[in-house]
Amino acid sequence: MQRYFLYLAYDGTAYNGWQIQPNGTGVQEILMRALATLLQCDTELTGAGRTDTGVHASLMVAHFDSPVPLDEVAFADKLNRLLPPDISVFRLRAVQPDAHARFDATSRTYHYYITTQKSPFFRTYRYRLFHKPDIERMNEAAAVLTEYTDFTSFSKLHTDVKTNNCRITHAAWTQVDAHTWVFTITADRFLRNMVRAIVGTLLEVGRGKLTVDDFRRIIGQKDRGCAGMSVPGHALFLTDITYPY
């Protein structure tokens, strides 16, 4: 068996997230069908993480094992011919047999886009606000995130993870254009719903409903009920995953 890392991107609009779902279609399922067709056998595919319903990825990494060596360029091209237009493979790489797309990843980066402009071209990739929030105050609050490790307050309830600890190394808002801002956050791992819950709570700070001290207190309370509402998934993108090799 030869293990391969698959680098891909997808528009999550039509999918119930990355993971195979009992009552919906996940990106993972579509890819496994295509792999099974090309390799002529059932093939397990393990992603670097999960994305929620409607969330996009400009970079996702997954691994699978092939019973035969593959021409990396030709196989990626064949995969793309089988995949729908909203999923694209752009690289295949042979790795060591014990390399793991999920457990070996050292960091992941997400982008979340907000805009105050109504546009038919933004409706599936931007979260529209009707008033400009206080970006400076939101950045003050975002900087607090790097001081903590337990993010229970921003985790979906009743998940099967063993710990809610994450190490956030970067969290900040930057301006894209006159009407659009992007929140960039990097961590070693993320909890389910974590980024959308953080953004929703930061927007409460931006609207003046919470202070920076309130935001700090919410983290310390370790209670999801104390944080803000989760923002919609359609404006969230998984954009980078790093490995030590």
94: its two tokens: 């042979």
Question: Looking at residue 35, what DSSP letter applies?
Answer: H
Alpha-carbon distance values, 76 to 32, 41, 72, 88, 96 (Å): 14, 17, 6, 9, 19
b/e map 88-110, b = 16+ CB within 10 Å? bbeebeebeeebebeebbebbbb
Residue position matching structure tokens 């699978």: 64
The residues near 71 (Cβ < 8 Å, ≥ 6 apart) are none
Task: Give the torsion through C-alpha atoms of 32, 34, 39, 42, to 10 deg.
Answer: 30
Alpha-carbon span 31 to 152, nearest angstrom:
32
Whether 52 is catalytic is yes
Cβ proximity of 171 and 143 under 8 Å: yes
* Catalytic residue from among 42, 52, 71, 214: 52
Active site residues: 52
